[in-house]
Amino acid sequence: MNQKVKFINSHKSNFFATVRYRVEEHFVEKGVSKHANQVMWLKTIFYLTVSLTLYLLILSNQFGIWSLFTLAVLLGIFNAGIGFNVCHDAIHGSFSANSKLNKALSFIFHLIGANPYVWNLMHNVVHHTYTNIPGHDEDIEVAPGLIRLDPQQRVNKLQRFQHLYAIGVYSLASLSWVFRKDYVKFFQKKIGHHPTLNHPKQEYFNLFFYKGLYYFLYIGLPLLVLDITWWQFVIGFLSMHLVEGLVMGLVFQLAHVVEGTDFPVPNEQGNIEEAWAAHQMHTTANFAIKSKLAGFLLGGLNQQIEHHLFPKVCHIHYPAIATIIKQTAQEFGLPYIENPTFFRAFQSHYRMLKKLGYEAYRLQKEMVV
């Protein structure tokens, strides 16, 4: 699959033009900005303050080993929260109309171990364009050989049991990001089929300098100031990242790999025979959209449909525009895939893991016989 994918609006659908007009009208009628409001700023201050406080409490060396362990786990959860609620919007340019402010808030991504430039390429450029398209969207290539989320891949014997161990693999996401993923993606010739060789020189410096800064802040400095053994530090550090990775991995998978979502394959000419916005409706799902707690914790990532159609709109506004999008989708005969709760979405993802692993392996063997 070497062609560049093109979306062909063969049905001449006006869905996106219509829903975009209606969403724009919503903001005009309400007289509000698409960007961060006071509530969003309060969320930002909350997450940054709590995360910094947890970090400083750990470094204070005033707590016993079990208290330090608890603080480390909480720090992992809140660092994921910063990524979801602050950096994600900033890197998309949806936090503020001021590009300098977005860039400043994107910088925080470095301080939780991830590179905003690489994330922009993987997520904004590739994933948002080629969502769930095998061979193009690398988000469905979680751990090749271990987890099969691409229906086009051949199933190996180990992947038969992926529904039993996938959650454990997801928990490695943060560790992979900090120590491996950013480097690998930065030096790949392509992410999906998007060329990535002409990086600005500044980004080479940023990658290595800020990774080094993160390693000092989260490994070097704690080892210098904390009155604990090296193995106690390792347990705390791994626990922080395993919890952070589990939160990250689950949230992203529940938005695209659940029952009802598609994994479209381009035709021989490299075309997807529908408009880009219609493609998003077939490949993206929401969950727990009525839960205010989920909205507060997940930065709108439980409303991926709204996010994928309007990535330049701050997530704080997703609940307000969700009804508009759902009604418009129904008018145009498009799906609006949603699971009412986190648990229902998790169950659906589990069934998909089993379908793409155990059940696919059985069918594969039957076809060979």
Tens of each residue's pLDDT in the chain, 369 residues: 456 888 987 778 899 999 999 999 999 999 999 999 999 999 999 999 999 999 999 999 999 999 999 999 999 999 999 999 999 999 999 999 999 999 999 999 999 999 999 999 999 999 999 999 988 888 888 888 899 998 888 999 999 999 999 999 999 999 999 999 999 999 998 887 788 778 999 999 999 999 999 999 999 999 999 999 999 999 999 999 999 999 999 999 999 999 999 999 998 888 898 999 999 999 999 999 999 999 999 999 999 999 999 999 999 999 999 999 999 999 999 999 999 999 999 999 999 999 999 999 999 888 765
Cα gap 25→53, rounded to integer Å: 41
Give 39: exposed, middle or buried? Use CB within 10 Å, 0-12, 13-18, 19+: exposed
Residue 286 CB coordination number (10 Å)? 26
Residue 1 has a pLDDT of: 46
How high is the pLDDT of residue 199?
A: 92
User: Given this model, what pLDDT does residue 356 score?
Assistant: 95
Listed in sequence order, the residues at least 6 apart from 205 whose beta carbon sits closer than 8 Å to its beta carbon are none
Residue 30 buriedness (CB in 10 A; 0-12 / 13-18 / 19+): exposed
pLDDT at residue number 348: 97
- The residue type at 308: H
pLDDT at residue 3, rounded to an integer = 67
Asked if 195 and 189 touch (Cβ cutoff 8 Å), the reply is yes
Contact yes or no for 15/329 (Cβ under 8 A): yes
